[in-house]
Amino acid sequence: MKNLVRFLTRDKEFRIFIVDVRSILECSYFKNMKTDFARQLYTNIFINCCLLRGFITEMDQRISVSVRFKLAGHTAHCEIDGSGKISCVFSSSLTNFNGVFEDLIGQGATLSMSRGSWTGGMFTGTVELTATSVDSWFSYFYEKSEQTKTIFQTWNANGIVRGCMVQPLPLYSRSNLKNIKEYICNLDMISIKWANIPYEISLFATKVDEYDLLSACNCSKDFFSKILMSIETNELIESIKAEKKEEMECGICGEKYLFNTDDLKNIVKIMGSDQSE
C-alpha cells in the first residue's frame, strides 16, 4: 500500500486521508533540526503538509505553505506538487529554537497557504496562529478560508509517524462529523500495521485511492526567495544598505543560492506590493 491513502465514508459524507511519513521524513530537512523542539515541530508540520497532497487533483497543481512566527527570522516553508514531491525547510533560527510554543505564536504569527497551478492562477489565504497545536493551525486555516470543518490529527511515537485528515463533503451531518472525530482520535494508530488500516476502518469507510509521496528536493532560487520574503523587511533593508549578500543552502541536496543586493531589493519591492494590496 502506498504512503497516502484516501477513503470515502460509506454514507459519502466525508473524505478521509491517512498518511505514513516515516520513510520520507528520514530523507527530508528533518536531519538539520538542532533541538528536540525543532524536531517535533518539523515532524508535525511535515505530516500535515503531506496530507494536503490529497487536495491536489492535477499534475501541474501545487500547494505552498508558509509559517511565520512572531520571533523575527523564525519561519518554515513547504511545497507540495502533483507528482507527490514534498519539500519542507526551516529557517536557521527555527532549526535552533529551543523554547516553548508560547514564544512563537500570537500577534504577528501567521500561516499562509497558496493553492493552484501556473496556468490556472493561485489562491492564497492567511490566518493568525494562536493555538499551541500544529494540527489546530491547519484545521483553523480551512475553517476560516474555506468555511470547512477539517480535522487534522497526527501520531508520532515508537518510530511510527502518521497523520489523518477528515473533511466533510456538502450536506454532511454535524453529528456524524463528531462521531468520526472521536473514532479517529481513539484509533491505536501507533500499533496498527500500515497494511491493516483499510480493514480497521472498513466498518464506516472504503479505500478509493492511494498516492506515493516523495521527500525529493524541489529547491530553486525562487523557492528560497519565498523564505527570504518571510524575514522582517527591516533586516533585508539593513543587508542592502551594507551591500551584504545573502547565501541560502538547501539542507536536502546542499545546493547554495546567492542573493546579491539587486535580488534583495527586488524581494523587498515584492513584499511591499503584497502588503499594499
> Which tens digits make up the pLDDT trace of 167-177?
999 889 988 98
The C-alpha atoms of residue 92 and residue 219 are separated, in whole angstroms, by: 16
For the chain, what is the mean pLDDT? 89
Q: What is the pLDDT of residue 257?
A: 87
- Cell 493551525 appears where? 137
The C-alpha atoms of residue 81 and residue 88 are separated, in whole angstroms, by: 12
| Whether pLDDT at 181 is above 70 | yes
DSSP code, position 21 = -
Query: Domains (ranges, CATH) in the chain?
Result: 4-218 (3.55.30.10), 219-277 (3.90.1280.10)
Which of 254 and 22 is assigned the larger pLDDT?
Answer: 22
| Whether pLDDT at 275 is above 60 | no
Residue in 20, 15, 72, 13 with CA at minimum distance from that of residue 46: 20
Please check whether residue 122 is in contact with residue 114, taking contact to mean a CB–CB distance below 8 angstroms.
yes
The C-alpha atoms of residue 255 and residue 247 are separated, in whole angstroms, by: 10
Residue in 61, 30, 56 with CA at minimum distance from that of residue 43: 30
If residue 233 lies in a helix (H) or strand (E), which one and from where to where? Answer: helix 233-241
Which of 248 and 176 is assigned the larger pLDDT?
Answer: 176
Q: Tell how strand 205-211 and strand 4-9 pair up.
A: antiparallel
Question: What pLDDT band is residue 236 in, cutting at 50, 70 and 90?
Answer: confident
Residue in 128, 138, 38, 142 with CA at minimum distance from that of residue 89: 38
Give the other-Cβ count within 10 Å of 69's Cβ.
25
| Whether pLDDT at 145 is above 60 | yes
Strand partners, 15: 8, 167
Question: What pLDDT band is residue 92 in, cutting at 50, 70 and 90?
Answer: confident
Task: For residue 136, give every residue at least 6 positions away whose Cβ sits within 8 Å of its Cβ, in sequence order, or none.
Answer: 152
Question: What pLDDT band is residue 271 in, cutting at 50, 70 and 90?
Answer: confident
What the block records as the C-alpha cell of 230 is 518571510
What mean pLDDT is predicted for residues 93-108? 94
CA geometry: angle 46, 263, 68, nearest 5 deg:
30
User: Over pLDDT 70: what percentage of the chain?
Assistant: 93
Question: What pLDDT band is residue 254 in, cutting at 50, 70 and 90?
Answer: low
Order across the sheet with 205-211: list the strands. 151-157, 160-168, 14-20, 4-9, 205-211
